[in-house]
Amino acid sequence: MEVLEAIRSRRSVRKFDPEHRMNAAEIEQLMHHVILSPTAFNIQNWRFVAVHDPDRRSEIRKAAWDQSQITDCSLLLVLCMDLKSWDKSPERYWVNAPSRVSDSMIREIQHFYRDDDMLQRDEGMRSCGMAAQTAMLAAKAMGYESCPMDGFDFKRVGHLINLPPDHRICMMLCIGKPLAAAHPRAGQLDLADVFVTDGFTEIAS
């Protein structure tokens, strides 16, 4: 599917065929594209948990106020961020660069993130957001629909997936075969309402 068409036609779907499951090759194809998503300093701070176990999915569904897409989708992904990825062997992220570039980037990474917990979390949210959009568009190109979710008990889901202490959950993503088409778009703001040139108009005090 052509990229612009995938963007236009991608919609959030909540009714999935519970009998369908993506096979291992499809999941691998999807994820190989997802991890091409950009991250600042190439720190690749996203972590993806695919939940296959039916019992665990059922418990996550309870933590998501019984939303059926949790158990009915073909693939349930919990998108997490590693807050300390910047400090975990950062040379890995620049292994293919010349040594002078790698050494410089490692110094910059440590200088930029050290002692700034809010920046570490914000960076993780940005990275996971871009990865989620990549996943949804890749899924669409593969003939699947998706549903991004933040309507769940983050603490409970973290417990269910054994989330490490230095990780946080950004969102969940359901991917699968739809049972019905998405509802019509509820209403898009005009481009002029959200797109400005050079800056916002000053508001008189």
CATH number assigned to the domain comprising residue 68: 3.40.109.10
For residue 16, being part of any structural domain is answered with yes
Which residues, in sequence order, are bridge partners of residue 78? 49, 172
Each residue's pLDDT tens digit, 34-86: 999 999 999 999 999 999 999 999 999 999 999 999 999 999 999 999 999 99
For residue 95, being part of any structural domain is answered with yes
For residue 201, being part of any structural domain is answered with no
Where does residue 181 rank: exposed (0-12), middle (13-18), buried (19+ CB within 10 A)? exposed
Residues 83, 119 contacting (CB under 8 angstroms): no
Domain that holds residue 76: 3-183
CA distance 90 to 111: 12
pTM of the model: 0.94
For residue 195, being part of any structural domain is answered with no
